[in-house]
Structure 1
Amino acid sequence: MENLCSGLIKQIQAHKLSALSAITYFKSEMQLTVELLAWLKAQEMYPQFYLNYRDEPITIASLGKVRLFSDEKMAQQFVQQQDLPLVGGLTFSKQAKFWLPRLLLENIDNILHVTIYFDNEQDFVTEQHACLQAAKTLEKFTALQSVKQVVHKIGQKANTEVWTNWIEQGLAEIKQGHLSKVVLANQTEFLSNQPIDAKDFLAESEQQNTGCYHFLLAEQAECAFVGSTPERLYTRQGQHMQTEALAGTATITDNPQYNQQQTDWLLNDRKNDHENRLVVQGICENLQPYVNHIAVCDVEVKQLRQVQHLRRCIQAELKNNVADGVCLQTIHPSAAVSGLPQQSAVQFLQKTENFDRSWYAGTLGIMRKLQAEFCVAIRSAFIEQQGEQSKIRIFAGAGIVAGSVPLLEWQEIERKASSLLSLLTIE
């Protein structure tokens, strides 16, 4: 890392202001695998962003911001014009936040790529200093530690009675034909005896919750949004897009025979299959005006540590000039996290749920000119520092369709929440 750091510093010091490009970047790489969470843990620059891809050996982390965009179409325009990457995403309610980071680290196939961005339209001395400070962060790492914290439950937005009432309202809307599906969620709050470091927590989740994306967004030191999600929003290579419908749930235990029985049941259960097909329907209908071709793959089962889901992958060829701004607006939030019809489901959730989802069930990822990768930010939590304690807000949701039983849906969200809760000791 010393060679990377010194090489970048020399590039930055040799830089002369240029009117030819709005952004200059300094880049270096070497064959090296770095624990990016250990690097992030040592840093004091914000915002911080982290994404460990689900299906490829790619992990990215970033510090700081050079340009900020609060509109996904403006973000897409910048990416297309400048051929530079942006990280960020959309909250559940579609509030966009994308930025060009000051420093971007990418672990790709055991090669570490480091890029520092310099804004030629800002004060030269200030930018040079900021870039030099960013380069020096490559020398700082803090060892990750296992999470062995005791936490106490301090609140829940819905107890079983409130949850049952929400579901009954949803079922009434479905019966009247206003909705086909709605995805209700709950927020549960815990307080720890000692501070919990979000990087330690996410590193532990990476070890336990395999087959997932792992993400972190910290806009400031006091609060981080973290999660380990099994669900892809979409990936794009040029004009080829792949998305998926992940909906329909069964349990996973330590008993392989029982798990196989649950898999067989899930594949043949009409209610779960209907729920999954509604997600497929919503995605395909929304994408139809923007694609030349779309195809739905056969159903399969994705097994996780606590639950297993039905999944149907969807392949699409986007029309020319269709890129991430359209894709994000069109797919998000999918029927897997909102419902169907999308707008009616979101309106129902806004008047029924008694909390702001914020980044929960939003989408986070990275967009480039020729490729993009976005996950669905479920199985997630906010970790907020409160003096010598930490407050953890954990979210979980369940898809409600005709035939849903409130108690069974309650048990489902409890199982989903346990993917993160099980990393802690509850008293």
Structure 2
Amino acid sequence: MSAQSLSSAVNQLLAQLSQLPPHDLASISPSGGSTSTSPGDKIIQLCCQVDAIPLISWLSSQDQYPRLYWQGRDKVEEVAAIGCAKDFQFDDDIDDGQLASIYQQQRSLSDNHNIRYYGGVAFDRSIASWPEFGRARFILPRIELRRSQNQLTLYVNLNLADSNLVDECRAASQALTLLQPPRPLQPPHKVGLTARYDTPAYARWEELVNQVTDADFNQKVPKVVLSRLSQLEVNEAVDPWLVLACWQGRNQNSFQFGFQFSPSRAFISCSPERLFRRRERELLTEALAGTTVRGLNQEEDQALAQQLLDDSKNSHENQLVREHIVDMLTPLSTEVSADANPRVFKLTHIQHLHRTIQAALKNDINDFQLLQALHPTPAVGGLPREEAMAFIRQQEGYMRGWYAGACGYLNHSESEFSVAIRSALFEPGRINLYAGAGIVSGSDPRAEWQELENKLATIISILIDF
């Protein structure tokens, strides 16, 4: 396929859609485009290559929902998508069997390994989550722009599992017709802060840290990741996609992603942490835990990094995460290996301890089994998982929703999920910011509170005019 302008590609796909009913799908493959289908498929995917365009600005220019964005930490791939051809959403309590059923339903719809479902799972899927997001939600976009290396492809998905071909062609044609050209993102514009509310407030935070570090409790639950919701009341509307673009520029070695299911709420994240990446049977994950700030110069930065490596509290925290992940992967894998020693992973304002973990998965293991095993990680929940989660559920004082959840995509041959830390939920008149800190024996409430501030420094500097 040869690349062409986006408007030409849209016209080509509109023409292709007009040909589909009642013709034989397998016979349609116009010059420069393709149809992906096989006998028994319930999902039909049309595609063609297009010239490069800025994907976040294209996404910000669209009027259709849902809107979603994904860019991996390695920057090899970038996705912007709108609309919905298939929606799997759970607002009520989800057990492991229901999660597995989502996966089986998705696999049964098509054998096309190029079809992807994007979405996420809440931090705690046993309790209520944010409106529209649910405890778990995955969608097959109606229209998807996917950049791989330097090649950009426009995809259109048709869902014949829930509708007929005529209606799906009509819906897809309408979505294509309503596409807007990308408008340049406006220069960063800080907004006025009218109020800020922290939950928990510092006095309660200090109580919680002292509870977790109490010798009797800590012996049973050696780590709890406490977090804080910082609600910023603002005096004007904020474009979440502009904020994500600015955040992306400042933390380039992070995952960047966002989901906006309606105009009311948008969730974005610039997260350094991978939950897992699967390529066929090969799995890559990591232990990311233990934090310090960046230095003002190279010498100070290196000294702080070495202090982090030498710090027993942070090293212990990272080792706990490593051991837990290896233990969870072992029954799912034929082989698991992990770095013996951590290295330092640097971001704009902070640096973390990091270990790489790899596994060769057994043949019958699927993505939802991996989500169940690895999420929530000890880096966002604690250890033992259930006891730490129970403490958070009862004591933290707010609903995390998709913050610290698992967000990404999956299909037959590959999947990738990030842990949704360094996150923001945009609502009318309010921006909700989230940050957490691993509390272990020896944790100091004041130092951990400052760590939360350090983790929010980048996003606050983008948003607020002090």
> Does 2:117 align with 1:74?
no
Question: Are the equivalent residues in 1 in contact too, given 2:186–2:242 (CA < 8 A)?
Answer: yes
Greater displacement, 68-77 / 372-381: 68-77
Report the CA distance between 1:123 and its aligned residue: 3.9
Of residues 3, 7, 12, the one that matches 1:7 is 12
Of residues 140, 145, 163, the one that matches 2:186 is 145
Greater displacement, 142-151 / 364-373: 142-151
The residue that corresponds to 1:99 in the other structure is 139
1:289-333: CA deviation from partner (whole Å, max 9, x where unpaired): 111110002411000001000000100011011020101111000
Of residues 151, 155, 159, the one that matches 1:119 is 159
Question: Are the equivalent residues in 2 in contact too, given 1:175–1:402 (CA < 8 A)?
Answer: no
Greater displacement, 270-279 / 128-137: 128-137
In 2, distance between residues paired with 1:34 and 1:254?
A: 36
Report the CA distance between 1:54 and its aligned residue: 0.5
In 1, distance between residues paired with 2:216 and 2:276?
A: 28
From the superposition, tell whether residues 176 and 413 of structure 1 become closer, same or farther in structure 2 (CA, over 3 Å).
Answer: closer
Report the CA distance between 1:275 and its aligned residue: 0.2
The residue that corresponds to 1:272 in the other structure is 314
Report the CA distance between 1:368 and its aligned residue: 1.2
Q: State the TM-score, normalizing by the size of structure 2.
A: 0.87
Report the CA distance between 1:423 and its aligned residue: 0.7
- Where 1:345 maps in the other structure, the secondary structure is helix
What is the total number of aligned residue pairs between the two structures? 422
Of residues 54, 57, 61, the one that matches 1:42 is 61
From the superposition, tell whether residues 141 and 372 of structure 1 become closer, same or farther in structure 2 (CA, over 3 Å).
Answer: same
Of residues 47, 50, 59, the one that matches 1:27 is 47
The residue that corresponds to 1:393 in the other structure is 432
The residue that corresponds to 2:200 in the other structure is 158
From the superposition, tell whether residues 413 and 379 of structure 1 become closer, same or farther in structure 2 (CA, over 3 Å).
Answer: same
Of residues 423, 443, 454, the one that matches 1:415 is 454
> Does 2:427 align with 1:366?
no
Question: Are the equivalent residues in 1 in contact too, given 2:408–2:418 (CA < 8 A)?
Answer: yes
Letter of the 1:403 counterpart: G
From the superposition, tell whether residues 179 and 296 of structure 1 become closer, same or farther in structure 2 (CA, over 3 Å).
Answer: same
- Where 2:421 maps in the other structure, the secondary structure is coil
Q: State the TM-score, normalizing by the size of structure 1.
A: 0.95
Of residues 72, 75, 78, the one that matches 1:59 is 78
Question: Are the equivalent residues in 1 in contact too, given 2:62–2:179 (CA < 8 A)?
Answer: no
In 2, distance between residues paired with 1:245 and 1:176?
A: 21
CA RMSD in angstroms comes to: 1.7
In 1, distance between residues paired with 2:261 and 2:458?
A: 24
Question: Are the equivalent residues in 1 in contact too, given 2:61–2:180 (CA < 8 A)?
Answer: no
- Where 2:192 maps in the other structure, the secondary structure is strand
Letter of the 1:259 counterpart: D
1:15-414 map, 5 Å: 15-16=20-21, 20-30=40-50, 32-69=51-88, 70=90, 71-81=98-108, 82=110, 83=112, 84-94=115-125, 95-121=135-161, 122-152=163-193, 153-172=195-214, 175-297=217-339, 298-385=341-428, 390-414=429-453
In 1, distance between residues paired with 2:406 and 2:148?
A: 22
Question: Are the equivalent residues in 2 in contact too, given 1:189–1:391 (CA < 8 A)?
Answer: yes
In 1, distance between residues paired with 2:459 and 2:174?
A: 34
In 2, distance between residues paired with 1:331 and 1:174?
A: 27
Report the CA distance between 1:126 and its aligned residue: 3.0
Question: Are the equivalent residues in 2 in contact too, given 1:225–1:381 (CA < 8 A)?
Answer: yes
Letter of the 1:67 counterpart: K
Question: Are the equivalent residues in 2 in contact too, given 1:239–1:323 (CA < 8 A)?
Answer: no
In 2, distance between residues paired with 1:174 and 1:67?
A: 49
Question: Are the equivalent residues in 2 in contact too, given 1:183–1:338 (CA < 8 A)?
Answer: yes
Question: Are the equivalent residues in 1 in contact too, given 2:218–2:440 (CA < 8 A)?
Answer: no
In 2, distance between residues paired with 1:404 and 1:376?
A: 23
Question: Are the equivalent residues in 1 in contact too, given 2:218–2:441 (CA < 8 A)?
Answer: no
Greater displacement, 235-244 / 141-150: 141-150
- Where 1:423 maps in the other structure, the secondary structure is helix
Letter of the 2:53 counterpart: V
Report the CA distance between 1:106 and its aligned residue: 0.5
Report the CA distance between 1:136 and its aligned residue: 2.8
Letter of the 1:151 counterpart: G
From the superposition, tell whether residues 137 and 317 of structure 1 become closer, same or farther in structure 2 (CA, over 3 Å).
Answer: farther
Letter of the 2:19 counterpart: A
Report the CA distance between 1:56 and its aligned residue: 3.5
1:39-77: CA deviation from partner (whole Å, max 9, x where unpaired): 111212211111111014211121122222244323322
Report the CA distance between 1:175 and its aligned residue: 4.3
- Where 1:59 maps in the other structure, the secondary structure is strand
In 2, distance between residues paired with 1:139 and 1:402?
A: 54
In 1, distance between residues paired with 2:325 and 2:21?
A: 48
In 1, distance between residues paired with 2:216 and 2:224?
A: 8
Letter of the 2:264 counterpart: E
In 1, distance between residues paired with 2:46 and 2:185?
A: 29
- Where 1:13 maps in the other structure, the secondary structure is helix
Report the CA distance between 1:134 and its aligned residue: 2.4
1:246-295: CA deviation from partner (whole Å, max 9, x where unpaired): 00001113322111110010111111000001111111111221111100
Structure 1 residues not aligned, in runs of 5+: none
In 1, distance between residues paired with 2:99 and 2:350?
A: 33
In 2, distance between residues paired with 1:13 and 1:173?
A: 70
From the superposition, tell whether residues 132 and 310 of structure 1 become closer, same or farther in structure 2 (CA, over 3 Å).
Answer: same
Letter of the 1:232 counterpart: R
